[in-house]
């Protein structure tokens, strides 16, 4: 994996969605998760204005620093630079990895959302540090990306690329062991943590399954 993989020192990748926080303040939910041991958070709030996103990113950067966790910003390379995030997470319609790298420099991390073997290989070729791949199982938020990949396709992709792969889509406490057995670096999730009554306890349980 070389030193690229070594920079990815987390195996639970938490993605934000304040709409799933059931009226709780998103920062409180994230801090709870960080107390449970989350080491990487992706700020992904598609419905906020640039200013709102920037303010939230600043607050989140402060909290993640306290817990020595990495912060990634979805899509917005400018905001990632402005708050000195650890990197960005790019979708298939975002900046290319190559262009993002020019802006961010070599020290920052770039993750890419992929939904097929083809997209996974392309992201690696362009210089992504890691990818999320899914949906592995059915999940409403990822339904538009087509049929779930399933564990076998996940395994194939993990064997084909040489950068860390995080499984995404329908990740639940009950299926983590099966997913980890496919050889992934870890799992990326939203609802299982954000919706949890007690995110701290949920994260601890998830990390136990992942280990």
| Catalytic, out of 18, 61, 76, 113 | 113
Q: Three-class SS of residue 74?
A: strand
| Catalytic, out of 7, 44, 70, 108 | 44
- pLDDT at 147 (0 to 100): 87
Question: Longest Cα pair distance anywhere in the chain, in angstroms?
Answer: 43
Domain that holds residue 163: 7-210
Contact 78, 104 (CB under 8 A): no
Query: The CATH number of the domain where 38 resides is what?
Result: 3.20.20.70
| Catalytic, out of 7, 108, 142, 200 | 142
- pLDDT at 92 (0 to 100): 94
- Alpha carbon dihedral 109, 181, 21, 90, in 10-degree steps, equals 30
CA 190/CA 89 separation, integer angstroms? 15
Assess if residue 2 is contained within a domain. Answer: no
The two structure tokens encoding residue 36:
């449970």
Specify the number of domains making up the chain: 1
- pLDDT at 5 (0 to 100): 59
Assess if residue 1 is contained within a domain. Answer: no
CA 49/CA 22 separation, integer angstroms? 21
- Residue 2: CB atoms within 10 Å: 8
pTM of the full structure? 0.95
Q: What are phi and psi of 63, to 5 degrees?
A: -70, -45
- pLDDT at 7 (0 to 100): 86
- Residue 113: active-site member: yes
- Residue 142: active-site member: yes
**Would you write out the chain's pLDDT as a tens digit for each of its 211 residues?**
344 457 899 999 999 999 999 899 999 999 999 999 999 999 999 999 999 999 999 999 999 999 999 999 999 999 999 999 999 999 999 999 999 999 999 999 999 999 999 999 999 999 999 999 999 998 777 677 778 999 999 999 999 999 999 999 999 999 999 999 999 999 999 999 999 999 999 999 999 999 9
Assess if residue 162 is contained within a domain. Answer: yes
Q: What are phi and psi of 158, to 5 degrees?
A: -60, -40
Residue owning tokens 């049929």: 147
- pLDDT at 142 (0 to 100): 65
> CA angle at residue 144 from 100 to 12, to 5 degrees?
55
Assess if residue 172 is contained within a domain. Answer: yes
- pLDDT at 2 (0 to 100): 40
CA 135/CA 97 separation, integer angstroms? 21
């Amino acid at each position: 994996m070389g030193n690229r993989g070594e920079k990815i020192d987390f195996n639970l990748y938490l993605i934000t969605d304040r709409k799933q926080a059931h009226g709780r303040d998103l920062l409180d939910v994230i801090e709870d998760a960080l107390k449970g041991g989350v080491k990487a958070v992706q700020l992904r709030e598609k419905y906020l204005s640039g200013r709102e996103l920037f303010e939230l990113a600043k607050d989140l950067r402060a909290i993640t620093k306290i817990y020595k966790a990495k912060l990634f910003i979805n899509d917005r390379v400018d905001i990632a630079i402005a708050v000195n995030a650890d990197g960005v997470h790019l979708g298939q319609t975002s900046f290319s990895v190559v262009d993002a790298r020019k802006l961010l420099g070599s020290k920052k991390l770039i993750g890419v959302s992929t939904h097929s073997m083809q997209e996974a290989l392309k992201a690696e070729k362009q210089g992504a540090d890691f990818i999320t791949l899914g949906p592995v199982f059915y999940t409403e938020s990822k339904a538009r990306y087509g049929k779930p990949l399933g564990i076998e396709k996940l395994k194939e992709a993990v064997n084909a690329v040489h950068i860390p792969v995080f499984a995404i889509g329908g990740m639940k406490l009950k299926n983590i062991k099966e997913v980890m057995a496919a050889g992934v670096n870890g799992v990326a999730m939203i609802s299982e943590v954000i919706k949890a009554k007690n995110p701290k306890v949920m994260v601890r349980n998830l990390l136990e399954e992942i280990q």
